[in-house]
Amino acid sequence: MTERRRREPRQLTGRVAAWPLWKMLLGALIVIPAAAAIALRSAGVAEVFRPPVGPPDTLKHVGTPLPRAPLTVEARYLRRAIAPETGREAEVSEFVGRYNVTRPLARRIYEAAVAQRIDPELAFRLIRVESVFDADAGNRGALGLTQVMLGTARDIDPEVDTSKELLDPDTNMRVGFTNLRNMLVLFKGDVRLAVIAYNRGEVAVQRAMRRGRDPENGYGERVLGARYHGGKPYTGAGLLPETTATTAQQ
């Protein structure tokens, strides 16, 4: 019976076998700190997935110019990204802030005034005094934003037949501003007399003037003075030129 050969342990050959243990430990001490340093200096997950710095790429597609210098305040770029307000919108914004009304209401008043060639500044003043911007206001038969009597409304527009129709804001302003325009024309652009006549009626104002009396009853001062209107007295002409009114409506 053949004797089995005993298997001797396989001897390691080459450089690995020749490296003593102390050299291997020394190499580990060098490699591990170096790897740790590289890892610390490399971008982490948060760095890799951080949003890009600078203005949003979507703004490039709408033709918004990008700032040349790095931004220090985000709002500076946001103002550039928003189109500046037009002359009309800037005026509407001023009325919104002064009278604490909503932008849609301020815009409706502005457009209704311009449609009748009334200076929007005067229109806002009138409504502030008459109804404090309450479209459902009613006082001794006077109705709506401009506080028009139903009889007066019928004289101006016979199709306005009921109080419900007169309380519609657009109808109410159209009739009220038409009446104010008629007073401005009747009194030849004298804004104070026209405003007083809007309140007292043209007959009462003309009678007082024939008697040599001032028809002022306090109403003209409330509308044209500074107290109820952000500290600013009215200095306008009352009526808009036809060209200005047409341009403002566009």
Q: Tell me the pairing of strands 148-149 and 142-143.
A: antiparallel
For the chain, the straight-line distance linking the first and the last C-alpha, in angstroms and rounded, comes to 118
Residues 104 and 1: their CA atoms lie apart, in Å, by 112
Residues of the chain within CATH 1.10.530.10 domain(s) are 89-249
Mark 100-134 as b/e (b = at least 16 C-beta within 10 Å).
Answer: ebeeebbbbbbbbbbbbbbbbbbbbbbbbbbbebe
| Assigned CATH for 89-249 | 1.10.530.10
Tell me what pLDDT residue 33 has.
64
Q: How confident is the model at residue 19 (pLDDT cuts 50, 70, 90)?
A: low
> Whole-model pTM above 0.75?
no
Mean pLDDT, rounded, of the chain: 80
Q: Are 241 and 230 in contact (CB under 8 A)?
A: no
Question: Is pLDDT of 171 > 90?
Answer: yes
CB contact set of 182 (below 8 Å; sequence gap of 6+): 156
Tell me what pLDDT residue 61 has.
43
Tell me what pLDDT residue 140 has.
87
179's tokens: 């009446």
231's tokens: 């500290």
Residues 194 and 187: their CA atoms lie apart, in Å, by 6
197's tokens: 């006549």
CB contact set of 108 (below 8 Å; sequence gap of 6+): 169, 170, 173
Cβ of 208: how many Cβ atoms within 10 Å?
A: 17
Q: How confident is the model at residue 64 (pLDDT cuts 50, 70, 90)?
A: very low
What is the phi-psi region of residue 218: left when phi exceeds 0, alpha when psi lies from -120 to 50, beta otherwise? left
Going by C-alpha positions, the residue among 115, 117, 148, 112 that lies closest to residue 130 is 148
Q: Are 219 and 200 in contact (CB under 8 A)?
A: yes
pLDDT digits (tens, 9 = 90+) for 28-63: 666 666 666 655 555 554 555 555 555 444 444 444
Helices 191-200 and 202-210, packing angle to 10 deg: 120
Q: Are 186 and 202 in contact (CB under 8 A)?
A: yes
Q: How confident is the model at residue 87 (pLDDT cuts 50, 70, 90)?
A: confident
Q: What is the CA radius of gyration of the chain?
A: 40
Residues 104 and 106: their CA atoms lie apart, in Å, by 6
Tell me what pLDDT residue 86 has.
72
